[in-house]
Amino acid sequence: MSLFLIVPIIIFLTVIIIFIVVLSIIITAFKNAKNTNNAQQISTPPQTTPTMQVKEKLICEYCGGKYNSDDTTCPHCGANCH
């Protein structure tokens, strides 16, 4: 009589434990994937943008406005930059 009660309880508990373990593995894997994606997204853009701004943007000698290194004249005062 007692064995008929204990066996279903043990099966039920093992199923719950397996479910919790699988769920925790899925959650940790999902969190790690999210963290790696965020780290890649954060690390890549700041490396490119500051160097681009420093290289491309120059300051006009006459008005102090910023202009691109490709521009022959200042877009703010029209002075010849080169």
Name the residues that contact Zn ion, by CB under 5 A: 60, 62-63, 65, 74, 76-77, 79
For the CB of residue 74, give the shortest distance to Zn ion in the complex, in Å.
3
H/E stretch holding 67 reads strand 66-68
Nearer to Zn ion, 50 or 75 (CB): 75
For the CB of residue 44, give the shortest distance to Zn ion in the complex, in Å.
34
Nearer to Zn ion, 33 or 61 (CB): 61
Nearer to Zn ion, 58 or 63 (CB): 63
Distances in whole angstroms, Cα of residue 10 to Cα of each of 3, 4, 19, 55, 64: 10, 11, 14, 69, 79
For the CB of residue 62, give the shortest distance to Zn ion in the complex, in Å.
5
**How many whole angstroms separate alpha carbon 29 and alpha carbon 43?**
21
Cα 25 from chain centroid (whole Å)? 22
